[in-house]
Amino acid sequence: MAFELPPLPYSHGALAERGMCQETMELHHDKHHQAYVTALNGFVEKNPALAGKSLEEIIQMSHGQADLAPVFNNAGQHWNHVLFWQNMSPQGGGIPGALETKITSDFGSVQAFKDAFKAAAVGQFGSGWAWLVLASDGKLKVAKTPNGSNPLATGEGKALLGLDVWEHSYYLDFRNRRPDYVTNWLDKLANYEFAASQMG
d(CA 162, CA 149): 11
Residue 36 found at the interface with Mn ion (CB under 5 A): no
* In the complex, minimum distance from the CB of residue 19 to Mn ion, in angstroms, rounded to a whole number: 16
Residue 164 found at the interface with Mn ion (CB under 5 A): yes
* In the complex, minimum distance from the CB of residue 87 to Mn ion, in angstroms, rounded to a whole number: 12
At 154, the amino acid letter reads T
* In the complex, minimum distance from the CB of residue 181 to Mn ion, in angstroms, rounded to a whole number: 12
Q: Which is nearer to Mn ion, 62 or 80 (CB)?
A: 80
Q: Which is nearer to Mn ion, 99 or 163 (CB)?
A: 163
Q: Which helix (H) or strand (E) holds 66?
A: none
Count of residues interacting with Mn ion (CB under 5 A): 2
Sign of torsion over alpha carbons 101, 104, 110, 116: negative
Q: Which is nearer to Mn ion, 28 or 102 (CB)?
A: 28
Contact 61, 53 (CB under 8 A): yes
Among the listed residues 113, 129, 166, 181, the single contact to Mn ion using CB under 5 A: 166
Residue 105, Cβ density class (10 Å: 0-12 exposed, 13-18 middle, ≥19 buried): exposed
* Binding residues vs Mn ion (CB under 5 A): 164, 166
